Amino acid sequence: MFSNMPLLRKGMNSGTKKALIVSVGTFHKPDLPPRSGSKRDTKRLHKILTKLGFKVTLLNDLTAEEIYEEFQNASREPLGECFLAVISSHGEEGTVYGADCKPVKLADIFSFFDGPATKSIPKLFFVQACRGQNLDGGIEVDSAMSPEEEEDCSFSTYLSIPNESAVCFATAPGCAAFLNLTGSVFLQTLCDILEEENGCNLEVNQIATQINYRVAYHYQAKGQELRGKKEMPCFVSRLTLPTFPFAKSCKERSFPLAIEDCHSSTLHCNSSRKKSIS
């Protein structure tokens, strides 16, 4: 019955992968404070993704309408063999904010990539934004929503994720995301993994698991009010095949061509570096 199913997604060669990074660090109104450190994330990501063969578009401080427009335009163009998006801003459950402080619904962004032209192409979304206010004070948070709205918004956001897509959120529903002058814990951890010797050859589920482990166990808030507070990323996948988005070619992978083996080849984390978030 399953004899004709491919065990791995085909190789993703340099020059056929696209990345769109949208980061909002400065806002037009005082309602939302500046996000110091966000440019550290985008600068490092741009350098790493370019080195790994992505054609990278980096856009800063767009309004809500401009964010919608850029993602819609990206969905209408050829995505190559893989599409990666990074969205970094203030946010709440299911929503991020443009520089004009107007909301951008993640479900609407995802819907642009649910058409027949993109349905078979792996699409990865990394979202650095708060999803609630469970941590607020003592850290720079990307937030603002009432807890009563969070559960329904979270469920509808998950339902809107397109086929052959995966979304990695910086934090769990209802919680704030960590950000300081050196960047975000979430995106800096992704960069750390990709810069390691075998990091770019990991399957996307392994990368997400490593992010979860390192952020959950290696980082915690400092300061009197928030000492010991944690951040826990959240990964949701509708991918149907093991996917190696950051490997330049099949020859560079250290994994055998079998699904069973992909689960036992996780790169173990030995880093003990901690980051101040107070």
Active site residues: 90, 130
Helices (H), the chain: 38-51, 64-76, 106-111, 147-159, 185-195, 204-218, 259-262
Length of the chain, in residues: 278
Measured CA to CA, the distance from residue 91 to residue 103 in angstroms comes to 8
CB atoms within 10 A of CB 254: 11
* Bridge pairing between strands 54-60 and 82-88: unpaired
What percent of the residues of the chain are helix, what percent strand, and what percent coil, each to the nearest 5? 30, 20, 55
| Pairing status of strand 123-128 against strand 17-23 | unpaired
Q: Using the 8-state DSSP alphabet, how is residue 80 labeled? A: B
Please report how the helices 204-218 and 185-195 are oriented relative to each other, as an axis angle in degrees rounded to 10. 130
Torsion angle, CA of 154/160/165/169, rounded to 10 degrees?
A: -20
Give the residue carrying structure tokens 């990865």: 124
Structure tokens at 29: 């109104």
d(CA 12, CA 247): 7
